[in-house]
Amino acid sequence: MTTMIRVENVAKAFTLHNQGGVRLPVFGDVNFSVEAGEALVLAGASGAGKSSLLRILYGNYRPSSGTIHITHGGKPVDIVAAVPRTVLDIRRRTLGFVSQFLRVIPRVSALDIVRDPLLARGATPEEASERAKAMLARLNLPERLWNLAPATFSGGEQQRVNIARSFVDPSAIMLIDEPTASLDAANRDVVVELIAEARGKGSAIVGIFHDEAVRERVATRYLDITDFRKAS
């Protein structure tokens, strides 16, 4: 087994300087690792810090202490200590984040949004288009929307564009935050399949799933964040 993520002694607290310097501890003493091909599902009540932990793994939030080694290009790299361009390189080649929300860029079509990661990894424009179209079709996004910018799409349509972009070329590590929140049953099933396929190709998955049925179909292992909260 290949360890893809190794989290050691991570703690996180937010200090709100403009609200009287309030310090909000989230968790402490977080230790775990994730192997290739695993799907680790984060559990714990709302507000326990599941999303914060996911963002810390992505290098988006900075932990107050600790190290997070991401296996990138065959070597462990501490994303906490890495310089910005290394973090960006890790994200481009190794680490994907699937959020509930699509960050809409003015004027860029759904198809181009989905093609983007393929092009960034060196696919030809033709190949990228073909795979992007197949993925949008699989997620039941009407073809008439493909060449439109998703700013005017419904929440569920935007979410599917986002999922298509993330799974068109799954990263070695996928961090997933509530991907099925506003999807119907059919599309939820597609997402569950996509996650299973990515795992089959060796991706390590860490995710938050509100929907219990989805959670049970996806998880190979659970991690309860509440345990770490006590240590904060």
Q: Which residues are near another protein by CB under 8 A?
A: 14-18, 55, 59-62, 73, 83-89, 92, 105-108, 112-113, 115-116, 119-120, 125
Nearer to another protein, 125 or 200 (CB): 125
Of the pair 92, 221, the CB lying nearest another protein is at 92
Nearest-approach distance from CB 168 to another protein, in angstroms = 13
Structure tokens at 160: 């599917």
Tell me the closest approach of the beta carbon of residue 105 to another protein, in angstroms: 7
Task: Provide, rounded to whole angstroms, the least separation between the CB of residue 161 and another protein.
Answer: 13
Q: How far is the CB of 81 from another protein (least distance, A)?
A: 12
Nearest alpha-carbon partner for 177 in 203, 207, 222, 212: 207
Q: Which residue number, 107 or 230, has a Cβ lying nearer to another protein?
A: 107
Measured from the CB atom, the residue of 91 and 199 that comes closer to another protein is 91
Question: What DSSP character marks residue 96?
Answer: E
For another protein, which is the closer residue by CB, 118 or 192?
Answer: 118
Shortest distance, position 128 Cβ to another protein, whole Å: 9
CA angle, residues 226, 218, 196, in degrees to nearest 5: 140
Q: Measured between alpha carbons, how far is 58 from 149 in angstroms, rounded to an integer?
A: 26
- Residue 195 sits at the vertex; the CA angle it makes with 221 and 31, to the nearest 5 degrees, is 35
SS3 226: helix
**Nearest residue (CB) to another protein, 55 versus 160:** 55
Backbone dihedral angles phi then psi of residue 63, each to the nearest 5 degrees:
-70, 155
Shortest distance in whole angstroms from residue 77 CB to another protein: 10
Q: How far apart are CA 105 and CA 109, in angstroms?
A: 9
> Could you tell me the CA-to-CA distances from 120 to 96, 115, 137, 209 in Å, in that order?
13, 9, 22, 29
Amino acid at 180: T
